[in-house]
Structure 1
Amino acid sequence: MFYETIRHAGGASEGGASESHALMLLRRAQNRGFGAEATLNGGASIRWTRTDLTTRKSVPRSITLTPETPIGILSDATRARLSLIGLGDARHVLTADSRHIVAGDTVIPMGETARLRARRLVAVDSQGRVRLTLAARLGLLAHDHIQIGGPGGFAMCSCGLTTNARTVLAADDVLRGHRRAVTARFVESIDAAYAAVISSR
């Protein structure tokens, strides 16, 4: 679940959003050419402008999606486990003395399994199938594309992309465009099966 904040000409309105609704908003933003960026807390920011029919001026609009449980800092070990689960076929296994996730040939210990579930990074269905939540997927994406500043207009994305623009603001624009592009590719990559699963919840 997410908190949804809509900023418009009249101010702001807030409400809740399911994973399915959040995905719909991201897909609609992509279809309309709006800029969407995954955020480090596991949410997303969608921004666009609309022309005021009275003043003929461009008025900024935005939708911010914030997970009910922000994902927090992801250690390398946690990211590695989430990546394994993201490959599919992960199972939540219950035994007499343990509750753990098995992803491929890897057994995720009971304590770490409990932490992944408590942080709402994974969801388990009634058949014991484990999937990454939309917040986890957005957070992983954002952690792969953190902006690292430098002198002047030099800036780098943690994925390795660099820019040496004339100004800091120009460098920010380049990397913001990059983050929006990778977020758009992420939205495109979400298959019908995953969308159906989160829609059924």
Structure 2
Amino acid sequence: MFRETITHAGGDSNGTAKESHALMLLRLAASRGDAMEATRTGGARIRWTRGGHSSAIAVRSIVLDPETPVGDLDGATRFLLARINLGDARYEVHPDRRVIAFDDGEAAPVETARLRARRLVAIGGNGRVRLTLSARLGLLAHEHRQAGGGTDGFAMCSCGFTASGPTGEAADAVLCGHRQVVTAAFVDSISAAYGAAIADRR
């Protein structure tokens, strides 16, 4: 579940959005070419401009914030999420433990409980485990966080992308554009099967 803040001509409107609605908003923004960026909390910001009756350009936006922020995604957590994202993870209940199991092993019960409590995973009706949309957005933002620069016309992304410009602010703007491009590419890459799993969530 996400908190949704919409900025429009009348001000701000607040509400909530299920995963399916949030994904629909992201797909719509991608199809329109709107600027959007994943956030480290596991949400996203969408911005677009609209011309008014005068020459003024109005900025509109939608901000999606997960009700449970993804928090710190350390190396061990990212490794486990990447393993789950391969697609063979399932939730198993045993007399002495509840675990996320794989074809070649299982996550420890404490790790399973921690991922569920942080809302990083969701369990389908068939017991299959998938990453939540907030987990995937948080991972994307972590992979493309600013890793250096920001001054003297230079900025660097943690993925290795280097931005330059006549000023630090200009370099930051280029880096922001890079994050928007990778966010749009991520949305375009979301499979129909994942979208169906979100839509089918009870």
Normalization by structure 2: what TM-score? 0.96
Of 38-47 and 167-176, deviating more is: 167-176
Equivalence for 1:146: 145
After superposition, residues 2-41 of structure 1 pair within 5 angstroms as 2-41=2-41
Which consecutive aligned stretches of 4+ in structure 1 deviate over 6 angstroms post-superposition? none
Deviations along 1:131-188, one digit per CA (max 9) or x if unpaired, are: 0000000000000000134241111000011123211111111111110111111011
Matching residue of 2:136: 137
Q: Supply the AA of the counterpart residue of 1:103.
A: F
Partner of 2:68: 69
> Within 5 A, what are the aligned runs for 1:42-57?
42-53=42-53, 55-57=54-56
Q: Contact 2:143–2:158 at 8 Å: present in 1 too? A: yes
**Contact 1:2/1:16 (CA < 8 Å) preserved in 2?**
yes
Deviations 1:70-121 (A, max 9, x none): 1011110000000000110101111110001113424110001001000000
Alignment of 1:122 onto 2:89: no
- The question of whether the paired residues in 2 share the 8 Å contact of 1:153 and 1:167 is answered with yes
Which residue of 2 is the match for residue 179 of structure 1? 179
Match of 1:160, SS state, is coil
Structure 2 gap ranges (5+)? none
Q: Distance in 2 between matches of 1:164 and 1:6?
A: 32
8 Å contact kept, 2:121–2:130 = yes
Q: Secondary structure of the equivalent of 1:174?
A: helix
- State the alpha-carbon separation in 2 of the partners of residues 123 and 89 from structure 1: 13
Query: In structure 2, the residue corresponding to 1:112 is in which secondary structure?
Result: helix
Q: Does structure 2 retain, via aligned residues, the 8 Å contact 1:6–1:12?
A: yes
Identical-residue share of aligned pairs (%): 61
Larger mean Cα displacement after TM superposition, 11-20 or 164-173: 164-173
Q: What code does the residue aligned with 2:56 have? A: K
Does residue 162 of structure 2 align to residue 162 of structure 1?
Answer: yes
Residues 124 and 197, structure 2, Cα contact 8 Å, conserved in 1: no
Q: Provide the residue aligned with 1:90 in structure 2.
A: 89
Which has the higher mean CA deviation after the structures are superposed, 142-151 or 83-92? 142-151
Give, in angstroms, the shift of residue 9 of structure 1.
1.7
| TM-score normalised over the length of structure 1 | 0.96
| Distance in 2 separating the partners of 1:111 and 1:30 | 37
Paired residues of 1:84 and 1:104 also in contact (CA < 8 A): no
Partners in 1 of 2:72 and 2:103 — Cα distance?
25
Whole-angstrom distance in 1 between the partners of 2:71 and 2:163: 28
Total equivalences in the alignment: 200
Give the distance between the partners of 1:33 and 1:12, measured in 2 at CA: 22
